[in-house]
Copies of this chain bind each other. A is one copy, B any other.
Amino acid sequence: MSEDRLIALLRGIARHPGARGLMDDAAVLAVPQGDLVLTHDMLVEGVHFQSDDAPADVAWKLVAVNMSDLAAKGATPLGVLTGVGMARDDDWNAAFVAGLGAALGHFGVPLLGGDTVRMPDGAPLTLGLTAIGRAPPGGVPQRGGARPGDDLWVSGTIGDAGLGLALRQRAARAPAALIAAYCRPQPRLLLGGALAPLVTAMMDVSDGLLIDASRMATASGCAVTIALDAVPLSAAARAFAGATLDARLAAATAGDDYVLLFAADPAAAAELAALAATHATMLTRVGTFAAGQGIKLTDGGVPVPLPAKLGYLHR
Protein backbone atom coordinates (compact mmCIF):
# COMPACT_ATOMS: atom_id res chain seq x y z
CA MET A 1 0.00 0.00 0.00
CA SER A 2 1.32 3.43 -0.89
CA GLU A 3 1.45 6.15 1.74
CA ASP A 4 -1.04 8.16 -0.36
CA ARG A 5 -3.49 5.26 -0.31
CA LEU A 6 -3.21 4.91 3.48
CA ILE A 7 -3.76 8.64 3.91
CA ALA A 8 -6.83 8.37 1.68
CA LEU A 9 -8.19 5.65 3.99
CA LEU A 10 -7.45 7.77 7.07
CA ARG A 11 -9.13 10.74 5.39
CA GLY A 12 -12.30 8.66 5.31
CA ILE A 13 -12.40 8.58 9.12
CA ALA A 14 -11.12 12.15 9.71
CA ARG A 15 -14.27 14.15 9.15
CA HIS A 16 -13.79 16.77 11.88
CA PRO A 17 -13.25 20.19 10.25
CA GLY A 18 -10.12 20.66 12.37
CA ALA A 19 -8.51 17.76 10.52
CA ARG A 20 -8.58 19.91 7.35
CA GLY A 21 -9.12 16.73 5.37
CA LEU A 22 -5.61 15.57 6.41
CA MET A 23 -4.42 17.82 3.57
CA ASP A 24 -2.65 20.48 5.63
CA ASP A 25 0.56 20.66 7.68
CA ALA A 26 -1.31 20.68 10.98
CA ALA A 27 -4.72 20.34 12.58
CA VAL A 28 -6.71 23.17 14.13
CA LEU A 29 -8.76 22.63 17.26
CA ALA A 30 -10.89 25.23 19.02
CA VAL A 31 -10.56 24.88 22.78
CA PRO A 32 -12.17 26.59 25.73
CA GLN A 33 -9.96 28.47 28.15
CA GLY A 34 -8.62 26.17 30.84
CA ASP A 35 -6.44 23.12 31.29
CA LEU A 36 -5.81 20.52 28.64
CA VAL A 37 -4.83 16.96 29.51
CA LEU A 38 -2.32 15.50 27.05
CA THR A 39 -1.07 11.95 26.66
CA HIS A 40 0.90 9.94 24.11
CA ASP A 41 1.23 6.17 24.17
CA MET A 42 2.93 3.89 21.68
CA LEU A 43 2.26 0.28 20.67
CA VAL A 44 5.01 -1.77 19.03
CA GLU A 45 4.54 -5.10 17.25
CA GLY A 46 6.23 -7.86 19.22
CA VAL A 47 6.20 -5.77 22.39
CA HIS A 48 2.63 -4.54 22.97
CA PHE A 49 0.83 -6.62 20.37
CA GLN A 50 1.57 -9.69 18.28
CA SER A 51 1.84 -10.04 14.53
CA ASP A 52 -1.24 -12.23 14.38
CA ASP A 53 -3.42 -9.92 16.49
CA ALA A 54 -6.45 -8.71 14.58
CA PRO A 55 -5.69 -5.23 13.16
CA ALA A 56 -9.00 -3.91 14.51
CA ASP A 57 -7.98 -5.10 18.01
CA VAL A 58 -4.63 -3.33 17.67
CA ALA A 59 -6.41 -0.14 16.61
CA TRP A 60 -8.82 -0.48 19.53
CA LYS A 61 -5.97 -0.89 21.98
CA LEU A 62 -4.07 2.09 20.55
CA VAL A 63 -7.11 4.27 21.18
CA ALA A 64 -8.11 2.61 24.46
CA VAL A 65 -4.74 2.87 26.24
CA ASN A 66 -4.73 6.61 25.59
CA MET A 67 -8.40 7.04 26.53
CA SER A 68 -7.56 5.19 29.74
CA ASP A 69 -4.95 7.84 30.58
CA LEU A 70 -7.53 10.57 29.95
CA ALA A 71 -10.10 8.71 32.08
CA ALA A 72 -7.56 8.49 34.92
CA LYS A 73 -7.28 12.27 34.87
CA GLY A 74 -11.05 12.80 34.63
CA ALA A 75 -10.62 14.38 31.19
CA THR A 76 -13.07 14.62 28.30
CA PRO A 77 -11.45 13.69 24.99
CA LEU A 78 -11.30 16.44 22.36
CA GLY A 79 -9.27 14.76 19.64
CA VAL A 80 -6.36 12.53 18.70
CA LEU A 81 -3.38 12.52 16.37
CA THR A 82 -1.92 9.24 15.17
CA GLY A 83 1.57 8.21 14.08
CA VAL A 84 1.18 5.14 11.92
CA GLY A 85 4.09 2.99 10.78
CA MET A 86 2.44 1.32 7.82
CA ALA A 87 2.14 -2.42 7.49
CA ARG A 88 3.43 -4.10 4.35
CA ASP A 89 0.04 -5.74 3.96
CA ASP A 90 -2.75 -3.74 2.29
CA ASP A 91 -5.48 -5.74 3.99
CA TRP A 92 -3.89 -5.13 7.39
CA ASN A 93 -3.76 -1.37 6.82
CA ALA A 94 -7.35 -1.25 5.62
CA ALA A 95 -8.62 -3.31 8.57
CA PHE A 96 -6.55 -1.19 10.96
CA VAL A 97 -8.01 2.08 9.65
CA ALA A 98 -11.54 0.66 9.78
CA GLY A 99 -10.90 -0.47 13.36
CA LEU A 100 -9.42 2.91 14.24
CA GLY A 101 -12.54 4.63 12.95
CA ALA A 102 -14.76 2.29 14.95
CA ALA A 103 -12.75 2.76 18.15
CA LEU A 104 -12.68 6.54 17.81
CA GLY A 105 -16.41 6.48 17.12
CA HIS A 106 -17.00 4.38 20.24
CA PHE A 107 -15.21 6.93 22.42
CA GLY A 108 -16.68 9.88 20.50
CA VAL A 109 -13.31 11.44 19.71
CA PRO A 110 -12.27 12.86 16.33
CA LEU A 111 -9.09 12.02 14.40
CA LEU A 112 -7.43 15.39 13.83
CA GLY A 113 -4.18 14.52 12.11
CA GLY A 114 -0.83 12.81 12.46
CA ASP A 115 1.76 11.17 10.29
CA THR A 116 2.20 7.98 8.29
CA VAL A 117 5.53 6.37 7.50
CA ARG A 118 6.54 3.25 5.65
CA MET A 119 8.76 1.25 8.00
CA PRO A 120 11.90 -0.40 6.58
CA ASP A 121 11.41 -4.01 5.44
CA GLY A 122 11.18 -6.40 8.37
CA ALA A 123 10.70 -3.65 10.96
CA PRO A 124 7.96 -4.06 13.54
CA LEU A 125 4.84 -1.98 13.11
CA THR A 126 5.12 1.01 15.40
CA LEU A 127 2.05 3.03 16.29
CA GLY A 128 1.67 6.16 18.37
CA LEU A 129 -1.36 8.13 19.43
CA THR A 130 -1.62 11.50 21.10
CA ALA A 131 -4.88 12.24 22.88
CA ILE A 132 -5.96 15.74 23.84
CA GLY A 133 -8.61 16.12 26.50
CA ARG A 134 -10.32 18.86 28.45
CA ALA A 135 -9.49 18.83 32.15
CA PRO A 136 -12.29 18.27 34.65
CA PRO A 137 -13.56 21.59 36.06
CA GLY A 138 -12.34 20.99 39.59
CA GLY A 139 -8.74 20.22 38.66
CA VAL A 140 -6.77 17.27 37.31
CA PRO A 141 -6.23 14.47 39.86
CA GLN A 142 -2.59 13.65 40.44
CA ARG A 143 -1.00 10.28 40.84
CA GLY A 144 0.72 11.54 43.97
CA GLY A 145 -2.12 13.04 46.00
CA ALA A 146 -2.99 10.16 48.36
CA ARG A 147 -2.76 10.94 52.09
CA PRO A 148 -2.29 8.68 55.10
CA GLY A 149 -5.73 7.44 56.12
CA ASP A 150 -7.11 7.47 52.59
CA ASP A 151 -8.66 4.34 51.16
CA LEU A 152 -7.44 2.76 47.92
CA TRP A 153 -10.20 1.88 45.48
CA VAL A 154 -10.41 0.19 42.12
CA SER A 155 -13.14 0.25 39.48
CA GLY A 156 -14.46 -2.90 37.80
CA THR A 157 -12.61 -6.20 38.12
CA ILE A 158 -8.95 -7.12 38.10
CA GLY A 159 -7.09 -9.86 36.24
CA ASP A 160 -9.49 -10.61 33.39
CA ALA A 161 -7.15 -9.26 30.71
CA GLY A 162 -4.23 -11.16 32.17
CA LEU A 163 -6.17 -14.42 31.97
CA GLY A 164 -7.30 -13.51 28.46
CA LEU A 165 -3.71 -12.94 27.36
CA ALA A 166 -2.45 -16.15 28.96
CA LEU A 167 -5.24 -18.19 27.42
CA ARG A 168 -4.83 -16.57 24.05
CA GLN A 169 -1.09 -17.25 24.11
CA ARG A 170 -1.78 -20.91 24.79
CA ALA A 171 -4.44 -20.93 22.08
CA ALA A 172 -6.77 -22.46 24.65
CA ARG A 173 -10.54 -22.33 24.47
CA ALA A 174 -11.17 -19.45 26.79
CA PRO A 175 -14.26 -17.62 28.00
CA ALA A 176 -15.06 -14.84 25.55
CA ALA A 177 -15.29 -12.32 28.40
CA LEU A 178 -11.63 -12.89 29.32
CA ILE A 179 -10.38 -12.69 25.73
CA ALA A 180 -12.41 -9.50 25.24
CA ALA A 181 -10.97 -7.99 28.41
CA TYR A 182 -7.51 -8.36 26.88
CA CYS A 183 -8.33 -7.45 23.28
CA ARG A 184 -10.88 -4.73 23.91
CA PRO A 185 -10.14 -2.88 27.17
CA GLN A 186 -12.96 -0.52 28.12
CA PRO A 187 -11.69 2.69 29.69
CA ARG A 188 -14.42 4.49 31.61
CA LEU A 189 -14.21 8.13 30.59
CA LEU A 190 -17.49 9.24 32.15
CA LEU A 191 -16.69 7.40 35.37
CA GLY A 192 -13.26 9.05 35.51
CA GLY A 193 -14.81 12.46 35.07
CA ALA A 194 -17.34 11.77 37.82
CA LEU A 195 -14.65 10.44 40.17
CA ALA A 196 -12.22 13.32 39.64
CA PRO A 197 -13.73 15.68 42.25
CA LEU A 198 -14.01 12.89 44.85
CA VAL A 199 -10.49 11.47 44.75
CA THR A 200 -7.19 12.56 46.25
CA ALA A 201 -5.18 10.63 43.63
CA MET A 202 -6.06 8.67 40.49
CA MET A 203 -4.31 6.64 37.78
CA ASP A 204 -5.11 3.72 35.54
CA VAL A 205 -4.00 0.14 36.14
CA SER A 206 -1.91 -0.81 33.13
CA ASP A 207 1.04 -2.81 34.48
CA GLY A 208 -0.71 -4.55 37.39
CA LEU A 209 -2.70 -3.55 40.46
CA LEU A 210 0.21 -4.09 42.88
CA ILE A 211 2.89 -2.27 40.91
CA ASP A 212 0.57 0.60 40.02
CA ALA A 213 -0.64 0.93 43.63
CA SER A 214 2.97 0.99 44.80
CA ARG A 215 3.67 3.74 42.24
CA MET A 216 0.76 5.77 43.62
CA ALA A 217 2.06 5.25 47.16
CA THR A 218 5.58 6.28 46.18
CA ALA A 219 4.37 9.36 44.30
CA SER A 220 2.22 10.28 47.31
CA GLY A 221 4.97 9.73 49.88
CA CYS A 222 2.81 7.13 51.68
CA ALA A 223 2.75 3.43 52.43
CA VAL A 224 -0.08 1.31 51.08
CA THR A 225 -1.52 -1.98 52.32
CA ILE A 226 -3.61 -4.04 49.91
CA ALA A 227 -6.14 -6.63 51.09
CA LEU A 228 -5.81 -9.39 48.49
CA ASP A 229 -9.08 -10.92 49.63
CA ALA A 230 -10.82 -7.70 48.60
CA VAL A 231 -9.44 -7.69 45.05
CA PRO A 232 -12.53 -7.88 42.81
CA LEU A 233 -12.59 -10.84 40.43
CA SER A 234 -15.14 -11.27 37.67
CA ALA A 235 -17.47 -14.25 37.55
CA ALA A 236 -15.65 -15.43 34.42
CA ALA A 237 -12.28 -15.23 36.16
CA ARG A 238 -13.58 -17.05 39.26
CA ALA A 239 -15.11 -19.77 37.14
CA PHE A 240 -11.94 -20.26 35.12
CA ALA A 241 -9.13 -19.71 37.61
CA GLY A 242 -10.82 -19.81 41.01
CA ALA A 243 -10.42 -17.29 43.78
CA THR A 244 -7.53 -18.77 45.73
CA LEU A 245 -4.77 -16.55 47.08
CA ASP A 246 -2.60 -17.59 44.12
CA ALA A 247 -5.35 -16.65 41.69
CA ARG A 248 -5.75 -13.26 43.38
CA LEU A 249 -2.01 -12.64 43.33
CA ALA A 250 -1.92 -13.55 39.64
CA ALA A 251 -4.81 -11.16 38.96
CA ALA A 252 -3.21 -8.34 40.96
CA THR A 253 0.09 -8.59 39.05
CA ALA A 254 -1.08 -9.35 35.51
CA GLY A 255 -1.68 -5.87 34.11
CA ASP A 256 -3.58 -4.70 31.00
CA ASP A 257 -6.66 -4.04 33.17
CA TYR A 258 -7.15 -0.39 32.21
CA VAL A 259 -9.42 0.18 35.18
CA LEU A 260 -9.25 3.17 37.49
CA LEU A 261 -7.22 3.09 40.68
CA PHE A 262 -7.86 5.92 43.10
CA ALA A 263 -7.40 7.16 46.63
CA ALA A 264 -10.21 8.80 48.58
CA ASP A 265 -10.93 10.01 52.06
CA PRO A 266 -13.04 7.43 53.97
CA ALA A 267 -15.72 10.13 54.31
CA ALA A 268 -16.25 9.88 50.52
CA ALA A 269 -17.37 6.23 50.72
CA ALA A 270 -21.11 6.90 50.60
CA GLU A 271 -20.75 9.26 47.66
CA LEU A 272 -18.59 6.69 45.87
CA ALA A 273 -21.22 4.00 46.42
CA ALA A 274 -23.89 6.25 44.92
CA LEU A 275 -21.64 7.01 41.97
CA ALA A 276 -21.00 3.29 41.36
CA ALA A 277 -24.74 2.74 41.18
CA THR A 278 -25.24 5.65 38.78
CA HIS A 279 -22.52 4.37 36.47
CA ALA A 280 -23.57 0.72 36.78
CA THR A 281 -20.09 -0.30 37.80
CA MET A 282 -18.32 -1.76 40.80
CA LEU A 283 -16.08 0.38 42.96
CA THR A 284 -14.17 -1.71 45.48
CA ARG A 285 -12.07 -0.65 48.44
CA VAL A 286 -8.91 -2.76 48.17
CA GLY A 287 -6.51 -1.04 50.53
CA THR A 288 -5.49 1.82 52.77
CA PHE A 289 -2.73 4.39 52.83
CA ALA A 290 -0.61 5.09 55.89
CA ALA A 291 2.40 7.15 56.83
CA GLY A 292 5.62 5.53 55.68
CA GLN A 293 6.57 3.95 52.41
CA GLY A 294 6.33 0.72 50.46
CA ILE A 295 3.57 -1.77 49.78
CA LYS A 296 2.25 -4.52 52.07
CA LEU A 297 -0.22 -7.29 51.34
CA THR A 298 -2.75 -9.04 53.56
CA ASP A 299 -5.21 -11.89 53.09
CA GLY A 300 -8.02 -12.08 55.62
CA GLY A 301 -6.05 -9.63 57.75
CA VAL A 302 -2.95 -11.86 57.76
CA PRO A 303 0.26 -10.49 56.21
CA VAL A 304 1.26 -12.10 52.90
CA PRO A 305 4.82 -11.90 51.52
CA LEU A 306 5.28 -9.78 48.39
CA PRO A 307 5.53 -11.79 45.16
CA ALA A 308 8.77 -11.66 43.15
CA LYS A 309 7.09 -9.42 40.57
CA LEU A 310 4.49 -6.76 41.39
CA GLY A 311 3.44 -6.45 37.75
CA TYR A 312 4.64 -6.10 34.21
CA LEU A 313 8.24 -4.92 34.32
CA HIS A 314 9.58 -2.78 31.52
CA ARG A 315 13.10 -3.82 30.64
Closest residue of chain B to A135 (Cβ to Cβ) is B28
Within 8 A of B (CB), among A143-175: 143-144
Expressed in whole angstroms, the minimum distance between the Cβ of A86 and any Cβ of chain B is 9
Are A39 and B23 interface neighbours, CB within 8 A? no
Interface string of A15-51 (1 = CB under 8 A from B): 0000010011111111111111111111011111000
Q: Do B35 and A33 have beta carbons less than 8 Å apart? A: no
Contact at A31–B33, with CB atoms within 8 Å?
yes
- A245-277 vs B, Cβ < 8 Å mask (1 yes, 0 no): 000000000000000000000000000000000
A115 within 8 A of B: yes
Identify the interface centre among A40, A41, A135, A140: most chain B CB within 10 Å of its CB.
Answer: A40
The distance in angstroms between the C-alpha atoms of A33 and B37, with both chains bound, is 15
Q: Which residues of chain B come closer than 8 Å to A38, judged between CB atoms? A: 26-29, 79, 81, 112-113, 130, 132
* The stretch of A65-73, A99-107, A293-301 that contacts the partner chain: A65-73
A58 within 8 A of B: no
User: Roughly how many angstroms separate A3 CA and B114 CA in the complex, as a whole number?
Assistant: 25
Taking a contact as CB atoms under 8 Å apart, the answer to whether B128 and A44 are in contact is no
Quick check: B85 and A126 within 8 Å, CB to CB? Answer: yes
B28:A144 contact, CB within 8 angstroms? no
The answer, yes or no, to whether A203 is at the interface (CB within 8 Å) is: yes
| Known pairs A30-B36, A38-B130, A45-B120 / 19 extra A-B pairs, C-beta < 8 Å | A20-B142, A24-B73, A24-B144, A24-B219, A25-B72, A26-B38, A28-B36, A28-B37, A29-B35, A30-B34, A30-B35, A38-B113, A40-B83, A40-B128, A44-B126, A47-B119, A123-B124, A126-B126, A130-B130
List 18 interface pairs A-B (beta carbons < 8 Å), by A numbering: A2-B315, A24-B144, A24-B219, A25-B72, A26-B72, A26-B73, A26-B140, A30-B35, A32-B33, A40-B82, A41-B83, A42-B128, A44-B120, A83-B128, A85-B126, A118-B315, A123-B123, A132-B132
